[in-house]
A = this chain, B = another copy of it.
Amino acid sequence: MALPKIETCLSPSLLHLYDISESIVVIIDVFRATSTMAAALHNGALEIIPVDDVDKCIRLGAEIENSITAGERDGQVAPGLQHGNSPLEYPREFIENKSLILTTTNGTRLLHMCSDASEIITGSFLNLGAVCDYLTAQKKPVLLACASWKDRYNLEDSLFAGAVYDAIGHQFEMNCDSTRAATHLYRQAKPDLYGFIQDSAHFLRLSKFGLQYDMEYCCKIDEHNVLVKLEGEKLVRGN
């Protein structure tokens, strides 16, 4: 039987080049939307509702019982919201059995751009293993979709795409230079992922807000190893 195809999209501005109608799309926003999603669901959040803008976030927060509104713009908690976009803000004692309504600069936008996909899951180093296990089991075509930074290529999201291919690539058909480059980079970074990632635009930007420990945490492989899957309008724990 022919192997399913795996490809990597390096920016939302390149998404039109890929046919995702039969594919599982893995939304990747390592710093920090998809890391926060894995942490919150692993720590018992009921669901995560990703929304595009702050106003909608506030409105849903008023409507939905037992919910938390969260989101950042340019690394700061957005005015009108309660919490930020750090995986460390959502320990079990705080988030268990609550709904997290989340808006972020890049990740939630890309997620909504991929509504044509057959399935959507989200990926981060915190749940790398769960992502790989799911993709391997499903045997469907895969698009690894990097949220990037305002449509500009970023290093950390493509490193995650490379980590997926490094782990399970042999079970897919691949002829995609974005995936090749991501895998070369990941194999170079693998011995010291956090060290490697420190020379990147996003690391330098978020460091100005004192978020180094956040980013170090986002590099912890399988720390919150749950599958994060879109069901209707909500991200829920899939395993």
The yes or no answer to A140 lying at the interface (CB within 8 A) is: no
The yes or no answer to A82 lying at the interface (CB within 8 A) is: no
State the copy count for this chain. 2
Residues of B within 8 A of A155 (CB): 177, 180-181
In the bound assembly, the distance between CA atoms of A16 and B151 in angstroms comes to: 10
| Residue among A149, A181, A204 with most chain B CB within 10 A | A181
Chain A positions within 8 Å of B, measured between CB atoms, are 10-11, 13-14, 16-17, 149-155, 158, 175-178, 180-181, 184-185, 188, 199-202, 204
A14-B178 contact in complex given A185-B184, A188-B188, C-beta closer than 8 Å: no
In the bound assembly, the distance between CA atoms of A10 and B146 in angstroms comes to: 14
Cβ–Cβ contact B151 & A17, under 8 A: yes
Task: Give the contacting residue for A204; candidates B151, B175, B178, B202; CB below 8 A.
Answer: B175
Cβ–Cβ contact A201 & B177, under 8 A: yes
In the bound assembly, the distance between CA atoms of A204 and B177 in angstroms comes to: 11
* 5 contacts across the A-B interface (CB closer than 8 A): A14-B153, A153-B178, A155-B177, A176-B201, A185-B185
A138 to chain B, nearest CB (A): 24
Residues of B within 8 A of A152 (CB): 14, 17, 176-178
